[in-house]
Structure 1
Amino acid sequence: MLTLLAYSMVIVFMALIMTKRLSAMVALILVPIAFGLIGGFGMELGAMMLDGIKKLAPTGVMLMFAILYFGVMIDAGLFDPAVRVILRMVGGDPMKIVVGTFVLAVCVSLDGDGSTTYMITCAAMLPLYKRLGISRLVLACVIMMAGGLMNILPWGGPTARAASALGVEVGLIFVPMILPMIVTGCWGLFVAFLLGRRERKRLGAIAAGSADPASAAQPQVTAGDPDIARPGLLWVNFLLTLGLMMLLILGTMPLQVLFMVASALALMINYPSLKDQKERLSSHAANIVPVVSLIFAAGIFVGILSGTKMVDAIAASVISAVPDWMGPYMAIVTGVLSVPFTFFISNDAFYFGILPILAKAAAVYGIGAAEIGRASLIGQQVHLLSPLVASTYLLVGLAEVEFGDHQRYTLLWALSAALVMLVATVVFGVIPIVGHAH
Structure 2
Amino acid sequence: MLSWLGFLMVIVFMYLIMSKRLSALVALIVVPVIFALIGGFGMEIGDMMLAGIKQIAPTGIMLLFAILYFGIMMDAGLFDPLIAKILKIVKGDPLKIIVGTAILSSLVALDGDGTTTYMITVTAMLPLYQKLGIKPMILAVVPMLALGVMNMAPWGGPTARAMSVLNLDASQLFTPVVPAMIAGIAWVIIVAYILGKRERKRLGIIELGEDHGESMAGGEIAAAGAEVSLKRPRLIWFNLLLTIALMLGLITSFLPLPILFMLAFAIGLLINYPKMEDQKERISAHAGNALATVSMVFAAGIFTGILTETKMIDAMSNTVVSWIPDSLGTHMPVLVALTSMPFTYFMSNDAYYFGVVPILANAAAAYGVDPAEIGRASILGQPLHVLSPLFAAQYLLIGMVGVDYAETQRFILKWAFGTSIVMIVVAILTGVISL
What TM-score results when the alignment is normalised by the length of structure 1?
0.91
SS of aligned partner of 1:42: coil
SS of aligned partner of 1:385: coil
Task: Write the distance in 1 (CA, Å) between the matches of 2:242 and 2:397.
Answer: 24
Task: Write the distance in 1 (CA, Å) between the matches of 2:210 and 2:322.
Answer: 58
Task: String of CA shifts for 1:331-388, please: whole Å, max 9, x gaps.
Answer: 2222111100011112221111111111222233444433322221111111111122
Cα distance change, pair 349–335 in 1 and its aligned pair in 2 (3 A): same
Show the counterpart of 2:165: 165
Show the counterpart of 1:389: 391
Show the counterpart of 2:323: 321
Task: Write out aligned runs for 1:192-341 (5 A).
Answer: 192-203=192-203, 205-207=204-206, 210=207, 212=209, 215=212, 219-221=221-223, 223=225, 225-341=227-343
What TM-score results when the alignment is normalised by the length of structure 2?
0.92
Task: String of CA shifts for 1:220-260, please: whole Å, max 9, x gaps.
Answer: 42535333222222222222222222232223332222222
Show the counterpart of 1:132: 132
Show the counterpart of 1:433: 434
Show the counterpart of 1:79: 79
On the 8 A contact 2:149/2:382 being kept in 1, the answer is: yes
Shift, 1:92, TM fit: 2.0
On the 8 A contact 2:60/2:298 being kept in 1, the answer is: yes
Cα distance change, pair 229–354 in 1 and its aligned pair in 2 (3 A): same
On the 8 A contact 1:166/1:373 being kept in 2, the answer is: yes
Task: Write the distance in 2 (CA, Å) between the matches of 1:146 and 1:185.
Answer: 7
Task: Write out aligned runs for 1:145-184 (5 A).
Answer: 145-170=145-170, 172-184=172-184
Q: Aligned pair 1:363/2:365, yes or no?
A: yes
On the 8 A contact 1:341/1:350 being kept in 2, the answer is: yes
Show the counterpart of 1:378: 380
On the 8 A contact 2:290/2:399 being kept in 1, the answer is: no
Shift, 1:20, TM fit: 1.1
Show the counterpart of 1:102: 102
On the 8 A contact 1:222/1:229 being kept in 2, the answer is: no
> After the TM superposition, which of the residue ranges 30-39 and 330-339 deviates more from structure 2?
330-339
Task: Write out aligned runs for 1:395-414 (5 A).
Answer: 395-414=397-416
Task: String of CA shifts for 1:274-326, please: whole Å, max 9, x gaps.
Answer: 33333322222112111111111111111111111111121111111111122
On the 8 A contact 2:129/2:135 being kept in 1, the answer is: yes
Task: Write the distance in 2 (CA, Å) between the matches of 1:179 and 1:400.
Answer: 35
Task: Write the distance in 2 (CA, Å) between the matches of 1:211 and 1:399.
Answer: 24
Task: Write out aligned runs for 1:106-125 (5 A).
Answer: 106-125=106-125
Task: Write the distance in 2 (CA, Å) between the matches of 1:409 and 1:318.
Answer: 28
SS of aligned partner of 1:252: coil
> After the TM superposition, which of the residue ranges 361-370 and 72-81 deviates more from structure 2?
361-370
Percent of aligned pairs sharing the same letter: 54
Show the counterpart of 1:34: 34
On the 8 A contact 2:45/2:306 being kept in 1, the answer is: yes
Cα distance change, pair 263–178 in 1 and its aligned pair in 2 (3 A): farther
Cα distance change, pair 415–106 in 1 and its aligned pair in 2 (3 A): same
> After the TM superposition, which of the residue ranges 44-53 and 127-136 deviates more from structure 2?
127-136
Task: Write the distance in 2 (CA, Å) between the matches of 1:189 and 1:152.
Answer: 17
Show the counterpart of 1:349: 351
Cα distance change, pair 322–243 in 1 and its aligned pair in 2 (3 A): same
Q: Which amino acid aligns with 1:124?
A: A
On the 8 A contact 2:83/2:128 being kept in 1, the answer is: no
On the 8 A contact 1:64/1:292 being kept in 2, the answer is: yes
Task: Write the distance in 1 (CA, Å) between the matches of 2:154 and 2:70.
Answer: 24
On the 8 A contact 2:80/2:223 being kept in 1, the answer is: yes
Shift, 1:404, TM fit: 1.2
Task: Write the distance in 2 (CA, Å) between the matches of 1:356 and 1:213.
Answer: 59
On the 8 A contact 1:68/1:288 being kept in 2, the answer is: yes
Task: Write the distance in 2 (CA, Å) between the matches of 1:247 and 1:171.
Answer: 29
Show the counterpart of 2:51: 51
SS of aligned partner of 1:155: coil
Over the aligned positions, Cα root-mean-square deviation in angstroms equals: 2.3
Shift, 1:24, TM fit: 0.8
- The gaps in structure 2 that reach 5 residues or longer are none
On the 8 A contact 1:92/1:214 being kept in 2, the answer is: no
Task: Write the distance in 2 (CA, Å) between the matches of 1:215 and 1:250.
Answer: 38
SS of aligned partner of 2:229: coil
Q: Which amino acid aligns with 2:403?
A: V
On the 8 A contact 2:122/2:401 being kept in 1, the answer is: yes
On the 8 A contact 1:36/1:304 being kept in 2, the answer is: yes
Show the counterpart of 2:20: 20
On the 8 A contact 1:180/1:421 being kept in 2, the answer is: yes
Shift, 1:109, TM fit: 2.1
Task: Write the distance in 1 (CA, Å) between the matches of 2:168 and 2:254.
Answer: 23
- The gaps in structure 1 that reach 5 residues or longer are none
On the 8 A contact 1:86/1:100 being kept in 2, the answer is: no
